[in-house]
Structure 1
């Protein structure tokens, strides 16, 4: 059979030459993987931000999902993290072909945490933190390595960068402090654990919600918080400061995190998100820059 790519996957070609080559080869690689694992297509293809996802049945008739991902650095060790977790709080990995970024995963429900109130969803994620924050694998890149690069870039910013100078100076100070902290690298992190990356399990009531799509690093669990603050942003309209703080303190309490350490990592992530947008985006999104600054300010005002 011919694999028909969803329009959104075909549109990924516009992201650059590497993406265009990946999209061009994707139908053939997907067909090869279906054959190699003896899978039968069991529905229309869907997609993630960087992947094609195809419902399939295994030779034993087990419902599964074949994920074919773009070969970026973020996804390089996804299979290792999923093997390490072994379905404890996460989707179960059935098989992997790392050089193709091909993963065969248990099929989950399509319902995610955007279907419940945000504070309740934050508490669910905190319970999942307890399951997935295990000792880091030696193959993983470290959070402090990432932070060293980000801090060096931040120090080179011109003074007329359109971000509050106070936040930039604060991020520089926090970055230097955390780079030398031995506690900043020891835990297996998801790093992109937001509401849409937690799906309802199809049948296992002992684990009603399961994590998907890790971008693993070895780091500090407090680094995980920020995506829960900037996602579902429209729901905070008219109540941004209090809404962000409500989520932040829900996480601190439920996960039993250190407040100062959590605040430091939120500020760092939001400042570095904003700097990345200014440097890498052809047309930086002023709305996203506003979100970055608003979150960094809300957790400390």
Structure 2
């Protein structure tokens, strides 16, 4: 049995590096003697799915999982399967300088202002950038704003703090520096609005609600685009034993009810992973999205 794992470097860099290391270390403990497990560095986006399709790697970690639901629905990921998800709650939040006097993303085109947004680039790899530009087009503002781009939420937050951007759009729920940044200037959270949320939900990208108080200055629940979870993916030809070992590792340490969420993946489960989850938690109903 052999396995090669894509270890993402970009995106939520620290988390992705840690996940790559944990997968490698955990599977080496579970795998039979002589198994080859090698970790390579990627960005946690469409670079990983591309390497899966070309055979450049066997297992990849991609985030956010919601992007995969949309891409799979449109046929872009047919032929790929899931081994499970690593849970991490997140939301694609729009935060603006409160002095702009905006309430929704669509308001960014009003009053003749030309605003600058700090976010990730839609560069064909980064899935946060892909989602942001798709959502801004739906809101009708993509062509009338300026951008400063960085893959890391930390740098996007820093640019907002320094005044290089009027708005920051990223997974601010997973940005530990955001409370400090939000204290440097008056902040208002903008609603994506029903046109964006319903439009993307119809394409397979779910909405999540950021509860009041979860972010500094957030006084009411905020519906936004889901930016949760790291999906662990593979091809159908992945060795069944390796698929099962990966599923067992992902479920390890979880209560059975929580392990059911690990198996609730954005793509169909690999048969080896599906059997492993069924064996581990026979009493818990499992399904893919």
TM-score, scaled relative to structure 1: 0.30
Of Structure 1 and Structure 2, the greater helix share is in 1
Task: Choose between structure 1 and 2 for higher RCO, CA contacts under 8 A separated by at least 6 residues.
Answer: 2
